[in-house]
Amino acid sequence: MSKGQMSKGQPIRVLCVDDHAIVREGLMSIVALQPDMEIVGAAESGAEALKMFREFSPDVVLIDLRLRDTTGFELIRDILALSPSARTIVLTSFEGDVDIERALAAGAKGYVVKGMVREELLEAIRDVHAGKRHVPSAIAAKLVDHLASEKLTHRELDVLKEVSKGKRNKEIGAALSIAEDTVKMHVKSILMKLGVNDRTEAVTIALRRGIIHLQ
């Protein structure tokens, strides 16, 4: 790892990971214009990203949360396993507080939403390269909004995913090999934790917050 003694004159070496060619292209063209940065690679999958990370040891890695062969969360963990001092920034269109929380928990140093102004991204890259965290206040605010809200347990998540498929409690019980009454218990808990009236609103709120995703 040749990051410790990086002098001010050397450009920030950036790797970007996104399965959309347009986004990779856009990132490259934005970053390439900065005199203090350079793109060392653009990967379209997690596997390719890891290969490029090993090969180029970039200073900063930009990562989308949705990838073809893995998730951004997993990729961040994989990269940190290779190099614990790696600096990663999530660049995604997901804005749910749970997505943000999971990304930061996985070890991301920054979280930037696609659709922000160009400067926000560049600032994030410079901050994170300098060892700082960079989470825009609008993003941080979403986390704060749900600080008090209880997290769903693993089992509740299982149930919620089945609920989103339109299954009845009885069917969910059969699918998860538990009693219908247990399912009802979980559903009640889910509704309470999410602060909603019924299972349908539970699903839409969960989608909005990034607790579950379609497909």
Which of 51, 132, 168, 170: binder of its own copies (CB under 8 A)?
A: 168
199 is a site residue for its own copies (CB under 8 A)? yes
102 is a site residue for DNA (CB under 7 A)? no
Q: Return the range that interacts with its own copies (CB under 8 A); candidates 47-55, 78-86, 123-131, 204-212.
A: 204-212
Cβ closest to its own copies, residue 79 vs residue 163: 163
**Residue 207 amino acid letter:** L
Cβ closest to DNA, residue 116 vs residue 176: 176
Outline where DSSP puts E strands in 20-169: 37-43, 60-63, 87-92, 110-113
Q: How far is CA 93 from the centre of its chain?
A: 9
191 is a site residue for DNA (CB under 7 A)? yes
Which of 10, 54, 74, 118: binder of its own copies (CB under 8 A)?
A: 118
165 is a site residue for its own copies (CB under 8 A)? yes
Query: What would you measure as the largest C-alpha separation in the chain, in angstroms?
Result: 65
198 is a site residue for DNA (CB under 7 A)? yes
Instruction: Name the 3-class secondary structure at 21.
Output: helix
Closest-CA residue to 6 (of 126, 109, 165): 126
The answer to whether 49 touches 57, Cβ cutoff 8 Å, is no
Q: Return the range that interacts with DNA (CB under 7 A); candidates 23-31, 129-137, 140-148, 177-185.
A: 177-185
* Gap between the Cα atoms of 201 and 191, Å rounded: 9
